[in-house]
Amino acid sequence: MKIITVANNKGGVGKTMQCFQLATYLAHKGKRVLVIDLDSQANLSSTLGVNVNRTLIPEWLIGDVPFEDIIVPAEGEYDCFDNISVIPSSRHLANLSKLLILSENEVRKDAGRKERLLKLRLTPIKGKFDYVVIDTPPMLGDELIMSLVASDHILIPTQAQDYSIDGLEELMDTFEIIKESENPKMKFSIIPSMVNARRKIEKSRLNELSDMFNVAPPIRNLVEMQESISMSKPIYMMGKRSKGKQDYVQLWESLGLN
Ligand SMILES: Nc1ncnc2c1ncn2[C@@H]1O[C@H](COP(=O)(O)OP(=O)(O)O)[C@@H](O)[C@H]1O
Ligand SMILES: [Mg+2]
């Protein structure tokens, strides 16, 4: 079971988009996929046809609720949805950090440290899924840190038009610290998302980015990507000429995610 987290402490960079496209792509290939939505906005949950009033993620992490009680099947028009299970989010997840503090004693007994809770809960279900795809909120909080500790591979969508290399460097420094202390095997991939390569400024920033980091093939800024999300229609279901489909297939193949 391979655990993949999509992370960036900035909002609106394409994290949820990437999770949706990756989960549906892997499911289409016949893989059993578990999606964990750790963003209290719950956009990914609703794109996967799942809406809950109150998520039980905090209770599951703390150990009060078993795994079986928090997974829900994805629902959608396409066959691939049959291979996707979801641990859905809701607004209630915004209280996670407070709840973890209140349960500190239980957490210590179980995981030692709260950063290790998600890893601890995923270990017993290793045989049930081929892939776990985790969406995270746009901040460096408990949700993101415990995902980093639990994951094999971190995908970092980065907007080319307004990214600041400083911001990304800072984020990567934090990731490196977690890698060294908690998860030495963790891999990172920086993925330019929503690229408009016809704009000179973006092209030059993309080059700058490639000079500093090992950068994966970019995803273009395309109206069909927005349509894909709003209709819950995976991009690989679009026709052969779809640029979004070409970009994503190239990306997943280059990352060995297929
Ligand atoms: N490649 C793309 N082309 C065009 N629009 C995109 C693309 N990727 C994402 N978007 C749109 O940009 C917005 C932010 O994307 P989202 O995945 O929600 O970001 P995040 O999860 O990082 O906040 C959404 O409206 C989404 O539909
Ligand atoms: Mg999001």
Return the best residue to mutate from 15, 16, 17 for the ligand 1 pocket (most ligand atoms within 8 A of CB).
Answer: 17
- Those residues whose C-beta lies under 8 Å from the C-beta of residue 197, and which sit 6 or more positions away, are 203, 206, 218, 220
Whether 251 is in a domain gets the answer no
The pLDDT of residue 173 is: 92
pTM of the model: 0.97
Q: pLDDT tens-digit profile of 192-238?
A: 999 987 888 888 888 888 888 889 999 999 999 999 999 999 999 99
The boundaries of the domain holding residue 204 are 2-238
Whether 165 is in a domain gets the answer yes
The two three-digit tokens of residue 89, written as one number? 């989010």
Q: Which atom of ligand 1 is nearest to the CA of 219?
A: 1
Whether 171 is in a domain gets the answer yes
Report the range of poorest mean pLDDT among 34-43, 110-119, 127-136.
110-119
User: Is residue 11 lining ligand 1, measured as CB closer than 6 Å?
Assistant: yes
| CA distances for 41 relative to 11, 47, 92, angstroms | 11, 12, 10
CATH number at residue 133: 3.40.50.300
The 8 Å CB, 24+ separation contacts for 197-201 are 199/161, 201/161
Distance CA 203, CA 195 (A): 9
Q: pLDDT tens-digit profile of 181-203?
A: 999 999 999 999 999 878 888 88
State how many domains the chain has. Answer: 1
Burial of residue 15, with CB atoms counted within 10 A of its CB: 0-12 exposed, 13-18 middle, 19 or more buried? buried
The pLDDT of residue 200 is: 84
- Residue 33 pLDDT exceeds 80: yes
Distance CA 121, CA 137 (A): 20
The two three-digit tokens of residue 235, written as one number? 């991009």
Distance CA 258, CA 26 (A): 6
- Looking at all shown ligands, the one closest to residue 13's CA atom is 1
- Looking at all shown ligands, the one closest to residue 228's CA atom is 1
User: Is residue 16 lining ligand 1, measured as CB closer than 6 Å?
Assistant: yes
Whether 151 is in a domain gets the answer yes
Whether 34 is in a domain gets the answer yes
